[in-house]
Each structure stands twice: as structure tokens, then as C-alpha cells.
Amino acid sequence: MSLLQVIEVSHSYNSKKLFKSKDTSNKVLHNISFSIEEGTCLGLLGTSGAGKSTLGKVILGIQRPQQGQVLFQGYDIYNADKITKSKIRRDLQVVFQDSYSSVNPRMTAERIISEPLENYEKLTLIEKRKTVISLLERVGLNEKDLKKYPNQFSGGQLQRINIARAIALKPKLIVLDESVSSLDMVTQALILELLSELKDDFGLSYLFITHDIKAAFSISDKIGVLEKGELIERYDSKDQFFKSQHPAIKRMRDSILAEHPRDRSINRNSSLT
């Protein structure tokens, strides 16, 4: 059984029943189906407005779709009983793009990372602190960072705190919505490396949402491409992606610049090889 199954999900934000009947022009998601296996990363590529974050929210249980189902470990996340829903919330975590707005500026790193532990685990103060320190260390920070506030961290460091919070409860699936997009290239590469390590160490699965082809290929086992709310293509390898003749994929490929200006007019895909 797949860890996550998305079955024929459609969604539109316009809920006015009067206009709901035949007009599909405002549909943000059209009949989306795919699955994610345990321990794997599905990269979800798409241009701005394609519906990626909406799909992420549907999977996280934040946005009930108008049609279709989301099954997590076989349970329908919108129709499960209370106990199952609480277990699913624990196993499904998220890291957003903007590391600063994802945290309460008045909380220390220790409190930020402790929050999920307080909600789900009964730990003594000493156990909690030990757990938070080991989480900080796991994401490349340390005990000295416990008492720091968000404004005392760089964007990359704060994203590490967000990742520590997301893995605190040893979840099964993390939705990473443009989680590295606002970081500089070097920091981006380091965070991607960290995410790959954590995936292997904890057997995590990811839905890696991005508009960045290079980032998607560096971490994903499979790639799906969302275009105007439709899952237009799926790939198991980089090769398949680069051979695709789909006009939307061609546009995406053409938008990648080669690393050196000299190569840009001849081979636009060379930056990925």
C-alpha cells in the first residue's frame, strides 16, 4: 500500500453554488491522481499559479477538496475518526518557503522545536531539552542556539529550525513547499543535502513542491509536472523529462539558463547534467 494516495482530486476556490455547475474555468485542481511510496520523494514541478500549494494544502488536510480523496496509510484524511486524524496530523508535517513567517518571532528556538513535542509527547523538562538539543544537532545547529530568537538566525539557519520542528515527531511524510526557494544557491544546496540525509536516516517521504527544475531533480525519486491545475506528466528519471515533447515541459526546459553564458545559446540544459 502506498503511503499517500491522491485520488481524482479536483478543487476550485469559488464555492458559490450558483456558478458551480458547468463552469470549470476557475478550477485550480483538475482530477489529480498520484501516489507517494514510503521513503521516496516526489518532486512536484510547476510554474507560478499552477496549483502546487493548493495541492499541498489538500494533502496536509488544510484544504478539503471539492471532489476526490486523499488516503494516508489507507485512511481517508478528511473522513477519518478523531483519533486517526490526530495520528495523521502527527505523521504529516510541512516546511514552507518563508522561514521567518513560519515561526513566532517571540519564541526561542527551543520553544519552537518543543511545540510539537508538547502537543504529542509526555516528556519531562530534561527529556524535552535533550530531544531539542539532539534535533538542533541533527540539523547542523547546536545547544548554544537554544535560547536564540528567530531574528538572531540567518534564513538558512531558521529553515534548519523549521526542519527540526518538522522532524521532531518522526513523521512519515513532509510537504516541502518551496522550502529552499528563497535561499541563496550555496545555502540551498546545503539544505537539500540535509533533507536527503534525513530522508535516508528516518525513512522519510517528501512531497517536494518547487518551480526549480534543478532543485527538484537533485532530491526527487520521481517528478510530476503540474500545469494549470492538471498533472500533465510524470517521470521516473531525468532522461524521460528531457526527452519529453510536451510543450509545457519544453517551455520549462527552455527557461533554464546554462551555468556559463558561453553555453546558453547552444545547450540550455547543460546546467543540469
Ligand X SMILES: Nc1ncnc2c1ncn2[C@@H]1O[C@H](COP(=O)(O)OP(=O)(O)OP(=O)(O)O)[C@@H](O)[C@H]1O
For residues 51 and 150, which CB has a smaller minimum distance to Mg ion in the complex?
51
C-alpha cell at 272: 543540469
For residues 62 and 197, which CB has a smaller minimum distance to ligand X in the complex?
62
Stretch that binds ligand X, among 46-54, 142-150, 159-167, 240-248 (CB under 6 A): 46-54
For residues 49 and 203, which CB has a smaller minimum distance to ligand X in the complex?
49
Q: How far apart are CA 8 and CA 13, in angstroms?
A: 17
* Sequence-distant (≥ 6) Cβ neighbours of residue 28 within 8 angstroms: 11, 12, 13, 51, 54, 229
For residues 36 and 44, which CB has a smaller minimum distance to Mg ion in the complex?
44
Q: How far apart are CA 60 and CA 55, in angstroms?
A: 9
Q: How far apart are CA 176 and CA 163, in angstroms?
A: 10
C-alpha cell at 125: 523538562
Helix (H) or strand (E) run with residue 90 in it = helix 82-91
Member of 4, 9, 28, 166 binding ligand X (CB under 6 A): 28
- If binding is defined by CB under 6 A, does position 46 make contact with ligand X? yes
Residue 97 CB, nearest distance to Mg ion (Å)?
A: 8
- If binding is defined by CB under 5 A, does position 188 make contact with Mg ion? no
- If binding is defined by CB under 6 A, does position 49 make contact with ligand X? yes
Q: DSSP 3-state assignment of 150?
A: helix
Member of 27, 30, 52, 222 binding ligand X (CB under 6 A): 52
Which residues 248-267 are close enough to bind ligand X by CB under 6 A? Answer: none
C-alpha cell at 231: 498533472
Task: Give the one entry of ligand X, Mg ion, none that residue 19 binds, where binding means its C-beta sits below a cut-off of 5 to 8 angstroms depending on kind.
Answer: none
Which residues 204-233 are close enough to bind ligand X by CB under 6 A? Answer: 211
Q: How many residues bind ligand X (CB under 6 A)?
A: 11
Continuous H helices in 121-184: 125-138, 155-167
Residue 134 CB, nearest distance to ligand X (Å)?
A: 33
For residues 52 and 160, which CB has a smaller minimum distance to ligand X in the complex?
52
Q: How far apart are CA 116 and CA 165, in angstroms?
A: 7
Strand partners, 209: 44, 177
- If binding is defined by CB under 5 A, does position 53 make contact with Mg ion? yes
Member of 6, 34, 43, 51 binding ligand X (CB under 6 A): 51
- If binding is defined by CB under 6 A, does position 54 make contact with ligand X? yes
Residue owning grid cell 540567518: 154
Alpha-carbon distances of 251 from 52, 99, 159, 256, rounded to whole Å: 18, 30, 30, 9
Contact assessment for residue 210 and residue 47, using Cβ atoms and an 8 Å cutoff:
no
- If binding is defined by CB under 6 A, does position 19 make contact with ligand X? no
Task: Give the one entry of Mg ion, ligand X, none that residue 157 binds, where binding means its C-beta sits below a cut-off of 5 to 8 angstroms depending on kind.
Answer: none
C-alpha cell at 243: 526527452
Residue 218 CB, nearest distance to Mg ion (Å)?
A: 19
Contact residues for Mg ion (CB under 5 A)? 53
Contact residues for ligand X (CB under 6 A)? 13, 28, 46, 48-54, 211
